[in-house]
Amino acid sequence: MQLKTLQIVWHGKEPVLSVDFQPNSHTLVSGGQDGEVKVRSQGDAMHGCPGVRFLSSYPVNSKSVNCVRFSPTGDLLASAGDKGEVLLWRFAIAAASGIWRQVGLLRGHCDDVLDLAWAPDGSALLSGGIENNCILWDVDGRKSLKWLQDHGHYVQGVAWDPLGRYIASQLADRTARVYSVKPPPQSCAMSRHVLSGIAVGAVCLAAAAAGTAKQPLFSDDSLPTFFRRLAWSPDGAFLAAPAGVYRAAASAPATSTTHVFSRGDWSSPALSLPCLSKGALVVRFCPQLFRASQQQQQRLTASRLPYRIIMAIASIDSVVLYDMQALEPLAVLGGIHYAAVTDLAWSDDGRYLVVASRDGYCTVCSFEDGELGEPLPL
């Protein structure tokens, strides 16, 4: 594994707020507080250390670009900013080079949009912002399909189930919401589950009906972050929500954690993975699945799956890589930034992980072939 914080001007020394890899490519896009979307290609520089090459930059009519996300096929790019606009971009061949051209504008939000999530078939887009709502968009028709207005605070993260059944949002009011979507998304028929609290410890679940005190699942808005970016595993088996808190007992101190829910079971987290410092802010699963060892297949340990899933969790000042089979950190990346981490991005092949930060820089972590395991087709 090679790790390097690249000392280049990503966004005019302004905070880098979002990063994403184009599917089936090492093209990296970033959005920042300078109001621009920038495109770079990822690769290895001299002496095997990771590096990037600048390709193009596109100013956006906004004070900042809070989120950039490629569609599942990679032919479209969505960006969201501080003025409520959601822009759609498409790659176009021009002369000897290619450029991204703006091809659509989704109007609905009137204030900052903080996060975006694509439907698995690319036909719809979910956006969430500080107006306490989410909007479900028809991408081809450039129109809104559904407004989810039952949120009680800023929507700081959204995620779309890769199997298309659920969408999820996370708020600053100590809750997350999961909606069931009847296919296709245009039907707009939904039901809701609110994740807010659980009984204290697994041993207390049986006594919950007898008045056992419940503890909140998530940190309140005193957590110093503007993003709580939750994520689905690539197979849709798990939903991981950051900014979690856990107490082993009512009088025990709170531990910062990431709660992992098994698909369809929203009664309580299946797992709670501790952070090393001041709260988890962003979760991203590696898109690549890996073959489990023979010993792991026999045990079918934590995740109960016959393959390995790698997850990256970013806190304010560190990133932890977890193996969902062993539930032990594969690596801890600490002391890499002077300000809070804002986003994470994996390349489709699992070779690169990029960490964005408010200090204006990005860290690139590269893995050698087979270092994370033997790849499996999804």
Within a domain: residue 376? no
- Assigned domain for 378 exists: no
Asked whether residue 377 is assigned to any structural domain, the reply reads no
Domain membership of residue 56 (yes or no) is yes
**pLDDT tens digits along 20-58:** 999 999 999 999 999 999 999 987 655 566 788 888 899
Q: Report the pLDDT value the prediction gives residue 5, as an integer from 0 to 100.
A: 82
Domain extent at residue 191:
4-366
Domain count, the chain: 1
Tokens of 217: 């699942």
Sign of CA dihedral 233, 238, 244, 245: negative
- Would residue 89 count as lying in a domain? yes
What's phi and psi for 259, nearest 5 deg? -90, 135
* Interstrand relation of 16-21 and 27-32 (parallel, antiparallel or unpaired): antiparallel
Q: Determine, yes or no, domain membership for 372.
A: no
How many angstroms separate the CA atoms of 88 and 79, rounded?
A: 7
Query: CATH number for the domain including 281?
Result: 2.130.10.10
Rounded Cα distance, 170 and 152, in Å: 11
Nearest to 233 by CA among 181, 162, 184, 185: 162
Longest Cα–Cα distance in the chain = 72
Residue with tokens 């098994």: 262
Q: What is the 3-state secondary structure (H, E, C) of the chain?
A: CEEEEECCCCCCCCCEEEEEECCCCCEEEEEECCCEEEEEEEEECHHHCEEEEEEEEEECCCCCEEEEEECCCCCEEEEEECCCCEEEEEEEEECCEEEEEEEEEECCCCCCEEEEEECCCCCEEEEEECCCCEEEEECCCCEEEEEECCCCCCEEEEEECCCCCEEEEEECCCCEEEEEECCCHHHCCEEEEEECEEECCHHHHHHHHHCCCEEECECCCCCCCCCCECEECCCCCEEEEEEEEECCCCCCCCEEEEEEEECCCCCCCCEEEECCCCCEEEEEECCCEEECCHHHHHHCCCCCCCEECEEEEEECCEEEEEECCCCCEEEEEECCCCCCEEEEEECCCCCEEEEEECCCCEEEEECCCCCCCCEECC
pLDDT digits (tens, 9 = 90+) for 52-83: 888 889 998 778 999 999 999 999 999 998 88
pTM of the model: 0.89
Spell out, as residue ranges, where the chain has pLDDT lower than 50.
95, 197-212, 300-301
Distance between CA 15 and CA 48 in Å, rounded? 27
pLDDT of residue 213: 63
Which of 238, 227, 246, 221 is CA-nearest to residue 286?
A: 238
